[in-house]
Chains A and B, each alone.
Chain A
């Protein structure tokens, strides 16, 4: 089979903040870089990030990177790797300044410096008073950063393949990743992109759950591609439920609302976070606040006719603050709820938001897998952002750390790729075998006849994940969930499409996406079933305590045989003392 081929030094899969930051680094170093994205770059989900990006600039309150490091480790429930976290927190200020220089329209303080707001899990002086570390462009920080990074890539003349869907990685017998098979959505034509290095920056898998804050495109394609290439996924049991999605609908209401002084109340009008986090209150970590809301509702103290949500009150902030700092939140409440938060509280409930787990990497974005007693890299393969697991977020990500993660590690991966390219100057030969396997993914959907619909199966998967792998979990419920997801995977083999057109066939794209989601659903439930403790976002009712003796380690899920393995947490930072696990109270 002869497919058209293109050749680049680097293939970047995904045009969110991570992919674009890496591409910029590479383009500026005059590497030949191609960015493949299934949507036009500014439609990537980074655009929806609201609250801001963490960096200890100390523009508002005293701060330094070491405190940020402590908060991130504590937030991660000590599952984060401390070398990577030190690296990220030290780099943060520089990276944010770089974004400002690139044109990001950050909000400003009276003295002209970047405005910073209070966010969850932040403290001064290692657990002391609340810090203000989150640099914000009103409540549209992700939009501002994504557009700026795309704009700078236009300037750097990065080569974009807009509306191309990545099908699978191509690999040779020595294990080198040599690029990917992609599909041009407009024409339906497959294309091989050969690359000396491939960076996966394809984002998270929020579409696993029925109610989520994520875009339709967040189907974890790159993570599933890694699984199919024999690479394990790390810490997939840790899925963040954001405390404040619009109840019943899922749209994100930024933590910035609480950062600006908003707070949660139950049906008695009680500010219930006082009972769950006496010190940090509504700005405790997201896992803590989500569990609190869930518990309030479960205890019958929920609001509304069905007692099924709580209220986020912000009317006391006044119209001026809301208009200036939270304009998009106000728009969203008006559009989707027909209420003005200047007058009325917003009904909220925990909503699937962020994939902490992902493709295991080191702090240079290099994908690593177990080998002997240690790890070895997959040559030519990198991953950054939500699809990757460095791990800087461990068992629970802090708000404001995801935008930071993508720019820090996007840049780091770009730099490491530049070094790799110096040593690996030539394309390695690409055999037809790998291409045939990837092509089989496409031809499978040419099957006609009767069968279940992709849409129906996706809805079922989302329902199963919500019911069996939500905020609180037990062995029995997870086991049932695992069986159900396995059944769904078997049924998916017999699903058929009614749309067989080549031209802009979104039904086919959604089928390929669902195959990816099902793999990730299995990874998530199997990893959750394996971890018999409660840590961060993973709450096991049957194992309510954190168990550092047995479980201070990362999970690795392999697709072959659905097996689990474990590896130690890197407790040793780069230069400072380690933060040993402590009881986590807010």
Chain B
């Protein structure tokens, strides 16, 4: 199988370049991460990428493959058009090869206060939550922070400093939607203004690419709606 892989080492390369590599044997069930590992082991030890769990839960190996953001470890080789073009996630500074600088992405995540805020005294037992209330968190808490969605979002490409991006906004809604959280006003205030939330133009790239099947667009819609009802 033929691969075309983005390479850039700031120590030695004047500019990024695309490396053609070929994988001799494609075994059934092989994922893209397996292929990259074999290419690194057998062809070029300097090929650099992040990865860890190998089953789509740690979120380390978000990559742009044939133009689409994916998690390499749960992307089957079968069905990928050749040459398989592998690039780093779009529009973030490249540290080396397929490794991007995610500090801006993490900044937006931290900025939405992604933690439960409750003011009432803590009971000595668990806070009660009905199955229906808990169900509102499904499709939100599962986010693995792989950045596939945010780096696929044209609004984020235009305003990476000001627009929080779909991943951070999904987490904002995860806490707004939690029956135990008591910081609704504070959270909505933080998202006020033309950029942080409202740069979302419902393009839905985020939802299209999410490797975990989550729907940030819908979450953002819920926040906008809540903001309106909260104001009146």
| Cα–Cα, bound, A147→B10 (Å) | 33
Q: Which among A37-45, A235-243, A313-321, A350-358 touches the partner chain?
A: A37-45
Question: A504, B99: Cβ atoms under 8 Å?
Answer: yes
A545: Cβ under 8 A from any B Cβ = no
With A and B bound together, what is the CA distance between A148 and B174 in angstroms?
12
Contact indicator B144/A503 (Cβ below 8 Å): no
**Inter-chain contacts of B56 with A (CB < 8 A):** 331-332, 335
Taking A39-B50, A43-B60 as known contacts, 14 extra A-B pairs with beta carbons closer than 8 A to each other, sorted by chain A number, are: A39-B58, A43-B52, A47-B57, A48-B58, A103-B175, A108-B134, A113-B126, A143-B57, A151-B116, A155-B115, A332-B56, A499-B46, A503-B9, A504-B96
B145 touches A (CB below 8 Å): yes
Q: Residues of B at under 8 Å CB distance from A?
A: 9-12, 29, 40-41, 45-46, 48-60, 74, 95-97, 99, 102, 106, 110, 113-116, 118, 122, 124-131, 133-134, 137, 141-142, 144-145, 175, 178, 180
Q: Is the CB of B127 within 8 A of A101?
A: yes
Partner of B10, one of A105, A503, A507: A503
Contacts of A101 in B (CB 8 A): 116, 118, 122, 126-127
A455 — nearest CB in chain B belongs to which residue? B41
A513: min CB distance to chain B, Å = 12
Please judge, given known A-B contacts A103-B116, A501-B96, A504-B96, whether A48 and B45 are in contact too, CB under 8 Å.
Answer: no
- Contact partner, A504, options B41, B95, B127, B129, Cβ 8 Å: B95
Complex contacts, B74 vs chain A, CB 8 Å: 335
Q: List 20 A-B contacts (CB under 8 A).
A: A40-B102, A40-B106, A42-B59, A43-B53, A47-B57, A103-B116, A105-B137, A110-B130, A110-B131, A112-B128, A113-B128, A151-B115, A215-B53, A455-B40, A501-B9, A501-B11, A503-B9, A503-B10, A503-B96, A506-B48
- List residues of chain A with CB within 8 A of the CB of B115: 102-103, 148, 151-152, 154-155
Task: Let me know if A140 is at the binding interface, CB within 8 A.
Answer: yes
Per DSSP, chain B at the interface is loop
**Are B116 and A102 in touch, CB under 8 angstroms?**
yes
What is the distance, in angstroms, from A145's C-beta to the closest C-beta of chain B?
A: 11
Say if the beta carbon of A61 comes within 8 Å of chain B.
Answer: no
Contacts of B114 in A (CB 8 A): 151, 154
Residues of chain B contacted by A501 (CB below 8 angstroms):
9, 11-12, 46, 96
- Given the known interface contacts A39-B60, A48-B58, A455-B41, the answer about A97 and B102 at a Cβ–Cβ threshold of 8 Å is no
Knowing A499-B46, A501-B12 touch, does A216 contact B51 (C-beta < 8 A)? Answer: yes
A161 CB within 8 Å of chain B: no
B180's closest neighbor in chain A, by CB?
A103
* Chain A nearest CB, measured from B194 CB (Å): 26
B129 pairs with A103, CB closer than 8 A: no
Contacts of A331 in B (CB 8 A): 56
Indicate whether A447 reaches chain B with its CB closer than 8 angstroms.
Answer: no
Q: Which residues of A contact B12 (CB under 8 A)?
A: 501
Residues of chain A within 8 A (CB-CB) of B137 are 105
Report whether A48 and B57 are in contact in the complex, using a CB–CB cutoff of 8 Å: yes
**B contact residues around A426 at 8 Å (CB):** none
A140 B142 Cβ-Cβ under 8 A: yes
> Looking at the complex, which one of A48, A103, A498 makes contact with B53 (CB distance below 8 Å)?
A48
B142 touches A143 (CB 8 A): yes
Are A498 and B126 in contact (CB-based, < 8 A)? no
Say whether B116 contacts A499, CB under 8 Å. no
Contact present for A114 and B126 (CB under 8 Å): yes
Partner of A47, one of B53, B99, B110: B53
**In the complex, what's the smallest C-beta–C-beta distance from A212 to chain B, in angstroms?**
10
Q: Which of chain A's residues has its CB closest to B9's CB?
A: A501
Q: Which of B41, B96, B145 contacts A453 (CB 8 A)?
A: B41
